[in-house]
């Protein structure tokens, strides 16, 4: 009888689901289009996903091609630790615009951990390096927490693609990018 009770109380094992550490999407608003792209999604097991625009000649449109890669778990943990050090009290649901671009605007939607739980923020026109490329202008400087977020996203994207690290970002300190 004791065996049957023990067998009935056993819970089925549930596979571990990796948790998202950092997720960023970009939404580009143009005069006649809106383009949403997964910029980067990092999970605590080191898996990273992102999308890249790809021209489809036969359809005469851009589509998004999905990619995945692994980075060392230690690097994912280091990114998470740096994000947890950000002063979340200085963050708002929507911040910016930080720059002005000609004929377009960009929203960087970011999901990050903080000591008080996960937060979702939208940063308007955060890529200050675009200002020179498109003859636009910087409207206001970023606060240190915002700059930290933009730079984490930018550095991680740079590890995966030819996308350059935004010029506002200092060289990385501990992840060996």
114-120, Cβ contacts within 8 angstroms, sequence gap of 24 or more: 114/83, 114/84, 114/86, 114/88, 115/84, 115/88, 116/88, 119/88, 119/91, 120/93
Reported pTM: 0.82
Q: What pLDDT is attached to residue 12?
A: 61
Residue 52 DSSP code: E
Is residue 22 within 8 A of residue 79, CB to CB? The reply is yes
Domains of the chain: 17-160 (3.30.1560)
Tell me the pLDDT tens digit for each residue of 121-176: 999 999 876 555 555 577 788 999 999 999 999 999 999 998 889 888 876 554 44
Nearest to 91 by CA among 64, 134, 122, 62: 122
pLDDT in tens, 55-111: 778 877 778 999 999 999 999 999 999 999 999 999 999 999 998 877 888 999 999
* Alpha carbons 44 and 48: distance in angstroms, whole number: 9
Mean pLDDT estimate for the chain: 85
């Amino acid at each position: 009888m004791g065996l049957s009770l023990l067998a009935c109380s056993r819970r089925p094992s549930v596979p571990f689901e990796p948790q998202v550490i950092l997720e960023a999407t970009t939404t580009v608003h143009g005069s006649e289009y809106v383009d949403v792209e997964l910029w980067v999604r990092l999970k605590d097991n080191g898996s990273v996903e992102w999308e890249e625009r790809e021209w489809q000649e036969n359809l005469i449109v851009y589509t998004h091609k999905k990619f995945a890669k692994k980075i060392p778990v230690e690097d994912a943990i280091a990114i998470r630790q740096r994000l947890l050090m950000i002063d979340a009290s200085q963050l708002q649901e929507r911040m910016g615009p930080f720059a002005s671009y000609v004929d377009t605007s960009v929203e960087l939607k970011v999901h990050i951990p903080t000591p008080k739980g996960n937060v979702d923020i939208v940063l308007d026109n955060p890529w200050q390096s675009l200002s020179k490329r498109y003859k636009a202008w910087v409207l206001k400087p970023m606060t240190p927490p915002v700059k930290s977020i933009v730079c984490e996203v930018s550095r991680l994207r740079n590890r995966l693609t030819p996308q350059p690290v935004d010029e506002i970002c200092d060289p990385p300190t501990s992840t060996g990018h």
